Amino acid sequence: MRHSLHSEYYRYELQSPDAWIRGLGIFLSVLGVLAIIGAFFTTMITVILLGIFLTGAGFLQLAYSFSLGFDSVLGRSSATVYLIVGIILLIAPVGSAIGLTFVFTLFFLVAGFIRLGYAVSARRMGIPSAWYFSGAALNLGLAVLVLVGLPETGTWVIGLLLGIELLFAGLNMIFLTSRLHFHSTV
């Protein structure tokens, strides 16, 4: 069998960690774009998977608390909370998505006001504060946009944010490997 320099190069490329990282980056980017396009579907899948995990964790924790052989009120109470929340997520995924979106929106509001406080403090101390103000504006702006659109935004915001995260994670991997490849050839 004849080996050429060309086939040796491609075999090296397939064994190279850069090729795997680039491939994973492409996969995550495509997954992110699909999640963004199907934001409602992505949100529902996310809520249902969370419900499955919480319900499973509840059953495991309940079984463990009974296996201890003594009255484990805290263990059973914790398992009951996991089970109730998991079952609610599974029975009513749309309502659960809206509720989770509301909780995330409260987080963005609180984080926005905290960053605004950092920005004001930084400015008073003479520290450049543009990034703090930008972060505060982004958090508060997102929170207001989502709050104004509730309950409709609650059915797709989680999927959109997850899709954006996957897309940028994938693009970071692709750009990292192309940058490493560029530096190794120069």
Q: Which two tokens stand for residue 133?
A: 């103000």
Contact 27, 176 (CB under 8 A): no
Residues present in the chain in total: 186
Instruction: Write down the pLDDT at residue 178.
Output: 73
Residue identified by tokens 């101390």 is: 125
Amino acid identity of residue 43, one-letter, is T
Q: Which long-range contacts (CB under 8 A, 24 or more apart) does 12-19 make?
A: 18/177, 18/180, 18/181, 19/177
Alpha-carbon gap, residue 126 to 61, rounded angstroms: 52
Residue identified by tokens 């926005």 is: 112
Residue identified by tokens 């009120």 is: 73
pLDDT per residue of the chain (186 residues) written in tens, 0 to 9: 555 555 554 554 555 677 888 999 999 999 999 999 999 999 999 999 999 999 999 999 999 988 887 777 888 899 999 999 999 999 999 999 999 999 999 999 999 999 999 889 988 988 888 888 988 898 899 899 999 999 999 999 999 999 999 999 999 888 888 765 555 555
